[in-house]
Structure 1
Amino acid sequence: MSLRAISSASFQESIQENKVTMVDFSTKWCPPCKKLHPILEELEGEEKNRLSIFHVDCDESPELASEFSIMAAPTVIVFHNGEPVDKLIGLRPKGVYQAALARYAP
Structure 2
Amino acid sequence: MKIVDNNEFRSEIESGITVVDFFATWCGPCKMLAPVLEGLSGEMEGKANFIKVDIDQSLDLANEFKIASVPTMLIFKDGQKVEQLVGFLPKEKIQQAIEANL
Identity of matched residues, %: 37
Aligned residue number for residue 43 of structure 2 = 46
Shift in Å, 1:74: 0.2
Unmatched segments (≥5 aa) in structure 1: none
Shift in Å, 1:81: 1.0
Please report the RMSD computed on the Cα atoms of aligned residues, expressed in angstroms.
Answer: 0.6
For 2:81, what is the secondary structure of its paired residue? strand
For 1:104, what is the secondary structure of its paired residue? coil
Distance across 2 between alignment mates of 1:54 and 1:47: 13
Distance across 1 between alignment mates of 2:98 and 2:66: 22
For 2:42, what is the secondary structure of its paired residue? helix
Give the TM-score, by structure 1 length. 0.94
Distance across 2 between alignment mates of 1:101 and 1:59: 26
Distance across 2 between alignment mates of 1:67 and 1:50: 26
In the TM superposition, what are the counterparts of 1:17-96 in structure 2 within 5 Å?
A: 17=15, 19-96=16-93
Partner deviation per Cα, 1:56-102 (whole Å, 9 max, x = no partner): 00000011000000000000000011100000000000011110111
Aligned length: 102
Partner deviation per Cα, 1:29-79 (whole Å, 9 max, x = no partner): 100000001000000100101011100000000110000000000000000
